[in-house]
Chain A
Amino acid sequence: MTATAEATLWICDSCGFIYDPEVGDPDGGIPPGTAFEDIPRDWFCPVCGARTSDFRALEPGELG
């Protein structure tokens, strides 16, 4: 996990799924603690199937 917790949350621009490195995506083969940048190329959003290039880092405070 990188230093700034807020900056490490990533959102899928197609469906709003949020990737939290602290949680990872164990069902998708991503262990907890994996930074978004370290996710393998063949991973995809569990809801809509978007690739990592369709995600963006959440701005600080964006979740409200």
Chain B
Amino acid sequence: MAETLEQLAQQGDPGTLETEEQASRIQLLNPQQLYELWEKQHWASHEIDFSRDRKDWANLSDEERDYFTWGLAAFFIGEERVATQFSGLVMAYEDESEEAFLATQQVDEIRHTQFFDRFYREVIEIEGPDWESRLSNVRENVNDAFIKLFDEDLVSANRRLIADPADLDAKVDFVTLYHMVIEGTLALTGQWTITDYLEKEGLLPGFVEGFKKVSRDEHRHVAYGTWFLKQKCADPANAERLRSTLHEALPTASGVLVPPGADPNDWELLGYTSAQVNEFAFKALTRRLKAIGVPLVAEAEGVAA
């Protein structure tokens, strides 16, 4: 039985004809509509009330504190990485609506970094006089797979776009890595797990309020990535590029989900098993691929996602 995200991806997802017809009917918002949505969904990270959260944090169990220290580190560092490694895509806009939407996304990522920095300073009370030192302290909690994905693969994808914003292959690769893998698979899975647990336990209400707003922003970003890839993947060469980039990134992404010191094939945290978490991540990715119209495993290979 497949356990990790990587193993699930190699299996493919046997969809049904009925499902694929349903998927092809999904209407996606275009960048102008997503920009207008952004204007309606504005929020301020510095207006979130963390007063109850400070008391809750002090009363968490050791297991809860370990889990959130690890899980939230990936978000804090990840938001900083995606905020500073996004300019290449903004430069690669193809019309003014896309430029407008992409500019909002970069602002969103900065807002998310501000939100996590506030939470770390005011609730977790991390030491450090400035962002750099606090980020450096938090970095101790992320694993090697995370570092490869965010410090090497993402940085490289951004640099290719900065070098040549008109390079469509580089743009397809960047959106696949950023919107499909980082935001649409990893972040979505972490957000779902963390929010579900905190809501069920009634903990950290200020964090939950802000984190849900972070998630809503990222859903909008993922909607852009889905729209973009659906347009471009009408060309089979781009569809193959999307598939190939996913297969390259997923082994690393799979490792990002594994808690420190855990068996990658069998772990459990706060009641969530590795199988549940990996299946959620896989489902989030493959269902979106159906909306794009590109199966994870090419149909000619016998199994369609």
Which A residues are within 8 Å of any B CB, using their own CB?
A: 12-18, 23, 25-28, 41-42, 44-51, 53-54
Choose the segment among B143-151, B217-225, B263-271 that binds chain A (4+ C-beta atoms closer than 8 Å): B217-225
CA distance A31 to B291 in the complex (A): 19
Is B223 a contact of A47 with CB atoms below 8 Å?
Answer: yes
Assuming A26-B19, A27-B290, A54-B216, is B27 touching A48 (CB within 8 A)? no
Which residues of B have CB within 8 Å of A12? 219
With an 8 Å Cβ cutoff, the count of chain B residues facing the other chain is 33
Q: How many CB-defined contacts (below 8 Å) exist between A and B?
A: 81
Pick the most buried of A14, A16, A42, A50: most chain B CB atoms within 10 A of its CB: A14
* B88 CB within 8 Å of chain A: no
Which residues of B have CB within 8 Å of A47? 26, 28, 222-223, 226, 288, 291
Is A13 a contact of B216 with CB atoms below 8 Å?
Answer: yes
Is A45 a contact of B219 with CB atoms below 8 Å?
Answer: yes
Task: Map CB proximity to A onto B262-305 as digits: 1 under 8 Å, 0 otherwise.
Answer: 00000000000000000010011001101100000000000000
Is A51 a contact of B222 with CB atoms below 8 Å?
Answer: no
Is B223 a contact of A44 with CB atoms below 8 Å?
Answer: no
Is B287 a contact of A46 with CB atoms below 8 Å?
Answer: yes
Is B22 a contact of A14 with CB atoms below 8 Å?
Answer: no
Which B residues are within 8 Å of any A CB, using their own CB?
A: 15-16, 18-19, 22-23, 26-29, 33, 37, 41, 184, 188, 192, 195-196, 212, 215-216, 219-220, 222-223, 226, 280, 283-284, 287-288, 290-291
Is B226 a contact of A23 with CB atoms below 8 Å?
Answer: no
Task: Please list 30 pairs of residues, one from A and one from B, whose beta carbons are closer than 8 Å in the complex, sorted by A's number.
Answer: A12-B219, A13-B37, A14-B219, A15-B222, A16-B27, A25-B22, A26-B19, A27-B16, A28-B283, A28-B287, A44-B188, A44-B192, A44-B284, A46-B287, A46-B290, A47-B222, A47-B288, A47-B291, A48-B219, A48-B220, A48-B288, A49-B184, A49-B219, A49-B284, A49-B288, A50-B215, A50-B216, A50-B219, A51-B192, A53-B212
Which residues of A have CB within 8 Å of B26? 17, 46-47
Is B188 a contact of A49 with CB atoms below 8 Å?
Answer: yes
Which residues of B have CB within 8 Å of A23? 22
